[in-house]
Amino acid sequence: MRKKLFGIMAALLAGAGTACAQYGAVPDTTPQVFPGTGPIDQQYLGASPLATDMGQYMQAQNQTPPASSPQNPALPSATANPSTCAPSSQLCCPEPWKIKGWIGADFQMWFPPAMNLAPNLVTSLPAGAGTQLVGTSFPLPIILGFRIDTGMFTNPEESRGFQSITNSFFANTGVITVTPPAFVNTNGGATTLPLTAAGPNTFSANTSFTDTDANSILRLINGPNTKVYAIYGPKFATVEEDMTFTYNSFLLGPGAILEEFHTRNYFIGGQAGIWVKENIGPFVADLQAACAIGYSYANLIVLGSNTDASNTQVFTNDRNIGYFGTNYFSLIPEVNGNLAYQVTEHIQVRIGYSFLAYLNVQRPSDQLVASLLPPAGAGAHTAPAPPFTSTTYVIHGLNVGASWHY
Residue range 257-284, pLDDT digits in tens:
899 999 999 999 999 999 999 999 999 9
Q: 282: domain CATH number?
A: 2.40.128.90
Neighbours of 103 (CB within 10 A): 14
Question: For residue 36, is pLDDT > 60?
Answer: no
The DSSP bridge partners found for residue 375 are none
Helix, strand, coil abundance in the chain, percent, nearest 5? 10, 50, 35
**The dihedral of CA 277, 280, 281, 285: what is its sign?**
negative
Q: Domain range for residue 375?
A: 101-405
Which residue did the predictor score with more confidence, 172 or 129? Answer: 172
Across 337-354, average pLDDT: 97
**How many structural domains does the chain have?**
1
- Whether 284 is covered by a domain: the verdict is yes
Is the CA virtual torsion 286, 146, 239, 313 positive or negative? negative
Distance CA 251, CA 256 (A): 11
Coil vs helix vs strand at 189: helix
Between 98 and 145, the higher pLDDT residue? 145
pLDDT digits 0-9 by tens, 77-125: 444 444 455 454 455 666 677 899 999 999 999 999 999 999 999 999 9
Give domain status of residue 165, yes or no: yes
Report yes or no on 89 lying in a domain: no
Under DSSP, the state recorded for 197 is T
44-85 tens-digit pLDDT: 444 444 444 444 544 444 555 554 444 555 554 444 444 455
Alpha-carbon distance of 49 to 29, in angstroms, equals: 10
Nearest alpha carbon to residue 296 among 266, 271, 270 = 266
Within the chain, how many helices (H) and strands (E) appear? Answer: 3, 19
**Is 192 a domain residue?**
yes
Q: With respect to residue 231, please indicate whether it lies within any of the assigned structural domains.
A: yes
- What pLDDT sits at residue 383? 81
Q: What integer pLDDT is reported at residue 47 of this predicted model?
A: 45
> What dihedral angle (degrees, nearest 10) is formed by the CA atoms of 211, 214, 219, 223?
40
Position 245 in a domain: yes
**Side-chain half-sphere CA neighbours of 134 within 13 A:** 25
CA 185, CA 193: separation in Å to the nearest integer?
A: 6
What is the distance between the alpha carbons of residues 283 and 242, in angstroms, rounded to a whole number?
42
Q: Which helix (H) or strand (E) holds 15?
A: helix 2-25
The proportion of the chain whose per-residue pLDDT surpasses 90, expressed as a percent, equals 59
Query: Taking 80 as the threshold, does the pLDDT of residue 219 lie above it?
Result: yes
User: In the prediction, which pLDDT does 94 show?
Assistant: 63
Check residue 239 and give its pLDDT. Answer: 98
Query: Is 76 part of any domain?
Result: no
- Give yes or no for residue 18 having a pLDDT over 60: no
Residue 36 in any domain: the answer is: no
Predicted confidence at residue 97, as pLDDT, reads: 79
Q: Residues near 100 by Cβ (< 8 Å), separated by ≥ 6? A: 152, 153, 158, 405, 406
